[in-house]
């Protein structure tokens, strides 16, 4: 099984290098182990995450693509669908079949037709449009619903941190960019 998983991951990596989606870079941590990947995801434009560069790791099971990988951000990120330890909670990464809680349809969950590219694009969409009804981070979900300006301030701080720049220059750069 691991042989077919390796072939599939190698093909997906080749596709990602030939035709990378905008704002996403991903590939194996090293070419000796195609089951551990690193990714850099740029925060979507027009969101509180815009301008940030968020590193993550993907860990693929030996029976990939029959089972989904696990994804975890390796930086601080405050989001309703991301646990405080960085693990991503999104339907596409949930095991195939019926949801024991009855919340998701089987069509929303993992299937072998999905790909690394689809996962990463789904995570970018999730950053832009959180599902606050199914919060992995209850505090973030509550703040997203009830105090969006405070949520945005926290997100701005984390964006700034991913870029390694202090708050004042960041705000000045963003204000100047918006005026151009």
Rg (CA), the chain: 17
In 19-115, which ranges are E strands? 24-30, 33-42, 53-59, 70-73
**Which strand (E) or helix (H) includes residue 47?**
none
Give catalytic residues, as residue numbers. 89
C-beta of residue 56 within 8 angstroms of C-beta of residue 78 = no
Q: Is residue 153 exposed (0-12), middle (13-18) or buried (19+ Cβ within 10 Å)?
A: middle
C-beta of residue 92 within 8 angstroms of C-beta of residue 121 = no
């Amino acid at each position: 099984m691991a042989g077919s998983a390796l072939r599939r991951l190698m093909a997906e990596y080749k596709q990602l290098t030939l035709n990378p989606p905008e704002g996403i870079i991903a590939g194996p941590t090293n070419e000796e182990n195609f089951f551990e990947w690193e990714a850099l995801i740029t925060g979507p434009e027009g969101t509180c995450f815009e301008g940030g560069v968020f590193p993550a790791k993907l860990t693929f099971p030996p029976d990939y693509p029959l089972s989904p990988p696990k994804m975890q951000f390796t930086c601080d990120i405050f989001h309703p669908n991301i646990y405080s330890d960085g693990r991503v909670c999104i339907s596409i990464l949930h095991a195939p079949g019926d949801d024991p809680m009855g919340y998701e349809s089987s069509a929303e969950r993992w299937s072998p037709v999905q790909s690394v590219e689809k996962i990463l694009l789904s995570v970018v969409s999730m950053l832009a449009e959180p599902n606050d009804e199914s919060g992995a981070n209850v505090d973030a979900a509550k703040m997203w619903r009830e105090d969006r300006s405070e949520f945005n301030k926290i997100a701005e701080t984390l964006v700034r941190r991913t870029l390694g720049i202090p708050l004042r220059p960041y705000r000045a750069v963003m204000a100047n960019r918006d005026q151009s």
